[in-house]
């Protein structure tokens, strides 16, 4: 199955390119053949997403104990890696158009990371949806290409298997006045911790072939809403289903759209 | 006149023949070398500037074992193999700075050396080894007809520079692949592990021991830099790790994760060889980790920095580490001169 997927991920490159899977092309063909063809359906467009990182308005700097979350913890970020997958765009007439693909992000290596998805119908869209993590169909050991980058994200079989959806790690003090500095590791994995992100955004692919969306992750949102998360309560959540689900819920609004070109 | 003409014909012919012979000896048509990548391993990143060839690997092996490379000349008597000994996974057990083993290094693309002072490809670190660490005197190789021939056959060049020396060494070291340990055989479903080894594996690959986050299979390293808490305030610059390289206080005590393949044979352990046995290493992870502002977050397992393993758990974890020994690799005749 995995081999049939059209992956085109340039390893170690900032630019990662994904494509609509065969199944979807076939589905699209079937659907469009039932209707009268509009002009737009002949050609295909591309969507580029640039991802950046911030903490409540400041751009993210690694290794610096300078951020304060909603629980009052003072913290730094030492690692931020995650997958985005199952990107879909919403068109009023056609509904959700799914781009079956996945991308691995490493914020430390790429403070701005660009992904490009091609083969999109030239339509107007008003929402963007994706997972932080991997859909169940991709969340088992041999579903992703065997690269060192993916190996590092593996969630051991003993703990349910699949891949880490998120690794957010750093150091923290419970409060500004505390003297002890500890580590925290917010790791999400297994299907229960999948994060769905849905963002309203106007993407117009009728007038041109490429639309570019700038999207920013505010790290503080992982600790804010709906659950104010105090890192001192439990700094290490891997395998703790309840807390992983809390962080996953918080993850729904970590991204905001900051621009569309 | 006629005789002179004949003579010169003969002479020219002789010259031609000798030239031809010369050409035959120095043909440059290298044979591609196919690496056998063990099941479950990612493809090895290749270096387009240094494709593997039989001739290159052969040359690299000869250089690896040859004291001609010695800093200070052959009389100094050092080759790479003096410290990188096959039966010890190409490390050794001398005290002082631990020798890093040469096993699966072809997959390394991030940090090199214990303190991460070098980055890049295997070819890049080999350039450092040849030029700076060994300060190889290339003219010695140029004077050796066997090497002249071998370098020509491998790289098509008559001029030998430290680059060709480094590239040949890199080619040989790329062939040093270990992927046939008891653990690998278990993963391939060929054999079973003992109950103790299995319990140890469960500690290694779960939040109980949390070893897998840095010692990532199948290489059992992430080639990345971490402070695992050997010292809280390292006084000796040898213990500063990456901080000694970057001067960034966030890097204090960070060292490159070593592979755990053949770890039974690579003691003494840690960058400075401070632990003699695996038991001591496990005791350290269990109750010896020291907190500091740069201690890796992963070392904060479930809130406490000590794993507090039971004696049984320690035995099991050690039993698992011993399954990473690959006898075939340690005795592979292809790696010998």
Question: Which tens digits make up the pLDDT trace of A166-191?
Answer: 999 999 999 999 999 999 999 999 99
Clarify whether residues A168 and A232 are in a common domain: yes
Residue B143 in domain: yes
pLDDT band at B131 (very low <50, low <70, confident <90, very high): very high
Q: Is A171 on the interface with B (CB under 8 A)?
A: yes
Task: Name which of A154, A166, A182, A188 to mutate to probe chain B: the one with the most chain B Cβ atoms within 10 A of its Cβ.
Answer: A182
A196 pLDDT higher than 70? yes
Run of H or E including B331: helix B327-331
Q: Is A233 on the interface with B (CB under 8 A)?
A: no
Mean pLDDT of B249-253: 96
Query: Are the CB atoms for A183 and B299 separated by under 8 Å?
Result: yes
Contacts of B293 in chain A (CB under 8 A): 65, 171, 181
Clarify whether residues A96 and A196 are in a common domain: yes
pLDDT band at B10 (very low <50, low <70, confident <90, very high): low
Clarify whether residues A26 and A151 are in a common domain: no
Q: How confident is the prediction for chain B on average, in pLDDT?
A: 92
Task: Write out residues 270-329 of B within 8 Å (CB-CB) of A.
Answer: 291, 293-303
pLDDT of residue B20: 47
Least confident piece of the model among A4-8, A204-208, B31-35 = A4-8
Neighbouring-strand partners of residue A98: A88
Nearest one of B240, B24, B291, B336 to B152, comparing CA atoms: B24
Distances (CA, A) of B145 to A86, B139, B152, B158, B337: 61, 12, 11, 11, 18
pLDDT of residue B114: 98
Task: Write out residues 81-140 of A within 8 Å (CB-CB) of B.
Answer: none
Q: Alpha-carbon distance A248 to A235, whole Å? A: 15
Structure tokens at B312: 């049984």
Q: Alpha-carbon distance B17 to B25, whole Å? A: 12
DSSP for B148-201, written as a single string: HHHHHHHHS-SS--HHHHHHHHHHHHHT-----SHHHHHHTTSS---HHHHHHH
Clarify whether residues A133 and A32 are in a common domain: no
Q: Alpha-carbon distance B320 to B179, whole Å? A: 15
Clarify whether residues A188 and A221 are in a common domain: yes
pLDDT band at B256 (very low <50, low <70, confident <90, very high): very high
Q: Return the residue of A nearest to B40 by Cα.
A: A146
Clarify whether residues B200 and B159 are in a common domain: no
Instruction: Give the CA count within 13 Å in the CB-facing half-sphere of B116.
Output: 25
A198 pLDDT higher than 60? yes
Clarify whether residues B172 and B186 are in a common domain: no
Q: Is A1 on the interface with B (CB under 8 A)?
A: no
B225 pLDDT higher than 70? yes
Mean pLDDT of A68-74: 98
Clarify whether residues B237 and B150 are in a common domain: no
Mean pLDDT of B17-38: 74
Run of H or E including A256: strand A255-260
Q: Alpha-carbon distance A143 to A135, whole Å? A: 11
When CB atoms are compared, the residue of B250, B296, B300 closest to A236 is B300
A212 pLDDT higher than 70? yes
B144 pLDDT higher than 50? yes
Clarify whether residues B240 and B322 are in a common domain: yes
What percentage of chain A reaches a pLDDT higher than 90? 79
Quote the DSSP letter at residue A181. Answer: -
Clarify whether residues A137 and A217 are in a common domain: yes
DSSP for A77-108, written as a single string: -SEEEEEEEEEEEEETTTEEEEEEEEEEEETT
Instruction: Tell me the whole-structure pTM to 2 decimals.
Output: 0.89
Mean pLDDT of B201-214: 96
Distances (CA, A) of A72 to A58, A217, B8: 17, 20, 97
Task: Write out residues 121-160 of B within 8 Å (CB-CB) of A.
Answer: none
Clarify whether residues A231 and A112 are in a common domain: yes
pLDDT band at B303 (very low <50, low <70, confident <90, very high): low
Clarify whether residues B324 and B307 are in a common domain: yes
Residue B4 in domain: no
A204 pLDDT higher than 70? yes
Quote the DSSP letter at residue B118. Answer: E
pLDDT of residue B9: 54
Q: Alpha-carbon distance A68 to A220, whole Å? A: 8
Nearest one of A26, A25, A17, A30 to A44, comparing CA atoms: A25
Residue B195 in domain: yes
Query: Are the CB atoms for B230 and B284 separated by under 8 Å?
Result: yes
Structure tokens at B36: 């056998």
Clarify whether residues B197 and B318 are in a common domain: yes
pLDDT band at A152 (very low <50, low <70, confident <90, very high): very high
Contacts of A234 in chain B (CB under 8 A): 302-303
B75 vs B233 pLDDT, higher one: B233
What percentage of chain B reaches a pLDDT higher than 70? 92
Clarify whether residues A26 and A87 are in a common domain: no
φ, ψ of residue B235 in degrees (nearest 5): -85, -40
Residue B142 in domain: yes
Q: Return the residue of A nearest to B218 by Cα.
A: A151
Structure tokens at B334: 């292809």
pLDDT band at B7 (very low <50, low <70, confident <90, very high): low
Overall number of domains in chain B: 2
Please give the residue range of the domain that contains residue B150: 45-177
Asked which of B177, B202, B219 is the last residue of a domain, the reply is: B177
At A86-143, the pLDDT tens digits run 999 999 999 999 998 999 999 999 999 999 999 999 999 999 999 999 999 999 988 9
A37 pLDDT higher than 60? no
Q: Alpha-carbon distance A182 to A170, whole Å? A: 9
Q: Is B200 on the interface with A (CB under 8 A)?
A: no
Clarify whether residues A220 and A255 are in a common domain: yes
Contacts of B302 in chain A (CB under 8 A): 234, 236
Clarify whether residues A18 and A74 are in a common domain: no
Cross-chain Cβ contact B42/A182 below 8 Å: no
At B288-297, the pLDDT tens digits run 999 999 999 9
> If you count residue pairs, one on A and one on B, with CB atoms under 8 Å apart, how many are there?
76
Residue B24 in domain: no
Nearest CA to CA, how far is B196 from chain A (Å)?
16
CA dihedral B148, B149, B153, B156 (to 10 degrees): 40
Clarify whether residues A151 and A236 are in a common domain: yes
pLDDT of residue A26: 42
Clarify whether residues B189 and B323 are in a common domain: yes
Interface confidence (ipTM) of the complex? 0.88
Task: Name which of B45, B47, B297 to mutate to probe chain A: the one with the most chain A Cβ atoms within 10 A of its Cβ.
Answer: B297
Query: Are the CB atoms for B53 and B33 separated by under 8 Å?
Result: yes
Clarify whether residues B141 and B209 are in a common domain: no
Contacts of A184 in chain B (CB under 8 A): 297, 300
Q: Alpha-carbon distance B110 to B119, whole Å? A: 6
Domain of residue B160, CATH code:
1.10.760.10
Query: Are the CB atoms for B126 and B167 separated by under 8 Å?
Result: yes
Residue B320 in domain: yes
Residues 6+ apart with CB under 8 A from B79: B64, B65, B66, B67, B69, B70
pLDDT of residue B12: 54
pLDDT band at A1 (very low <50, low <70, confident <90, very high): very low
What percentage of chain A reaches a pLDDT higher than 70? 84
Instruction: Give the CA count within 13 Å in the CB-facing half-sphere of B124.
Output: 14
Residue B105 in domain: yes
Clarify whether residues B153 and B241 are in a common domain: no
Q: How confident is the prediction for chain A on average, in pLDDT?
A: 87
Least confident piece of the model among B6-10, B65-69, B280-284, B313-317 = B6-10
Overall number of domains in chain A: 2
Distances (CA, A) of B41 to A139, A151, A216, B180: 19, 9, 35, 11
Asked which of B177, B205, B239 is the last residue of a domain, the reply is: B177
Nearest CA to CA, how far is A157 from chain B (Å)?
8
Q: Alpha-carbon distance B97 to B254, whole Å? A: 15
Clarify whether residues B255 and B155 are in a common domain: no
pLDDT of residue A208: 83
Quote the DSSP letter at residue A71. Answer: T
A84 pLDDT higher than 60? yes
pLDDT of residue A18: 38
Neighbour tally for B18: CB within 10 Å: 10
Q: Alpha-carbon distance A25 to A27, whole Å? A: 5
Residue B22 in domain: no
Cross-chain Cβ contact B299/A181 below 8 Å: no
Asked which of B152, B177, B202 is the last residue of a domain, the reply is: B177
Clarify whether residues B245 and B312 are in a common domain: yes
Pairing relationship of beta strands A44-55 and A113-121 according to DSSP bridges: antiparallel
Clarify whether residues A26 and A49 are in a common domain: no
Q: Return the residue of B nearest to A145 by Cα.
A: B42
pLDDT of residue B250: 95
Query: Are the CB atoms for B230 and B291 separated by under 8 Å?
Result: no
Clarify whether residues B224 and B306 are in a common domain: yes
Q: Alpha-carbon distance B210 to A47, whole Å? A: 39
Neighbour tally for B237: CB within 10 Å: 10
Please give the residue range of the domain that contains residue A124: 44-260
Structure tokens at A26: 């076939």
């Amino acid at each position: 199955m995995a081999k049939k997927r059209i992956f085109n991920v340039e390893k170690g490159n900032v630019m990662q390119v994904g494509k609509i899977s065969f199944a979807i092309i076939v589905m699209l063909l079937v659907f469009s053949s039932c209707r009268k063809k509009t002009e737009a359906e002949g050609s295909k467009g591309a969507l580029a997403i640039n991802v950046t990182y911030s903490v409540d308005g400041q751009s993210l700097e690694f290794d610096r104990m300078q951020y304060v979350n909603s629980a009052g913890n003072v913290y730094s970020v030492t690692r931020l890696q995650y997958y985005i997958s199952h990107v879909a765009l919403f068109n009023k007439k056609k509904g959700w158009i799914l781009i079956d693909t996945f991308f691995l992000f490493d914020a430390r290596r790429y403070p701005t990371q660009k992904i490009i998805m091609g083969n999109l119908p030239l339509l107007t869209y008003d929402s963007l949806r994706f997972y932080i993590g991997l859909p169940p169909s991709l969340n088992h050991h041999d579903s992703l290409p065997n690269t060192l980058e993916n190996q590092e994200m593996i969630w051991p079989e003993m703990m349910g298997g699949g891949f880490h959806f998120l690794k957010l790690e750093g150091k923290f003090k419970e409060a500004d006045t505390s003297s002890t500095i500890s580590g925290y590791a917010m790791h999400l994995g297994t299907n229960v911790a999948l994060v769905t992100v849905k963002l309203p955004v106007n993407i117009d692919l009728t007038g041109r072939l490429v639309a570019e969306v700038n999207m920013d992750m505010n790290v503080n949102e992982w600790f804010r809403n709906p659950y104010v998360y105090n890192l001192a309560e439990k700094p290490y959540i891997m395998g703790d289903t309840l807390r992983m689900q809390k962080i996953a819920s918080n993850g729904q609004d970590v991204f905001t759209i900051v621009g569309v070109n | 006149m006629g005789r002179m003409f004949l003579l010169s014909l003969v002479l020219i012919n002789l010259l031609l023949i000798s030239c031809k012979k010369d050409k035959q000896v120095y043909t440059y048509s290298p044979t591609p070398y196919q690496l056998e990548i063990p099941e479950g391993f990612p493809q090895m990143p290749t270096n387009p500037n240094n494709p593997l060839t039989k001739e290159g690997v052969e040359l690299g092996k000869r250089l690896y074992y040859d004291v001609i490379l010695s800093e200070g000349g052959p009389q100094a008597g050092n080759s790479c193999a003096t410290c990188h000994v096959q039966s010890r996974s190409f490390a050794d057990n001398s005290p002082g700075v631990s020798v890093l083993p040469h096993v699966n290094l072809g997959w390394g693309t991030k940090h090199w050396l214990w303190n991460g002072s070098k980055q890049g490809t295997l070819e890049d670190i080999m350039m450092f080894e040849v030029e700076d660490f060994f300060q190889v005197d290339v003219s010695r190789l140029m004077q050796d007809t066997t090497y002249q021939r071998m370098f020509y056959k491998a790289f098509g060049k008559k001029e030998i520079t430290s680059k060709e020396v480094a590239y040949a060494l890199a080619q040989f070291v790329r062939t040093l692949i270990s992927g046939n340990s008891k653990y690998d055989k278990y993963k391939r479903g060929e054999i079973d592990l003992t109950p103790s080894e299995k319990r140890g594996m469960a500690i290694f690959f779960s939040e109980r021991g949390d070893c897998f986050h840095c010692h990532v299979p199948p290489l059992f390293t992430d080639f990345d830099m971490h402070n695992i808490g050997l010292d809280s305030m390292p006084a000796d610059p040898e213990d500063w790790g990456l901080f000694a390289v970057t001067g960034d206080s966030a890097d204090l005590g960070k060292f490159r994760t070593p592979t755990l393949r053949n770890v039974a044979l690579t003691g003494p352990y840690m960058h400075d060889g401070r632990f003699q046995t695996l038991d001591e290493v496990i005791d350290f992870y269990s109750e010896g980790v020291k907190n500091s502002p740069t201690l890796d977050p992963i070392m904060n397992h479930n809130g406490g920095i000590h794993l507090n393993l039971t004696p049984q758990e320690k035995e099991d974890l050690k039993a698992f580490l011993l399954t990473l020994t690959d006898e075939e690799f340690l005795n592979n005749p292809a790696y010998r001169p």
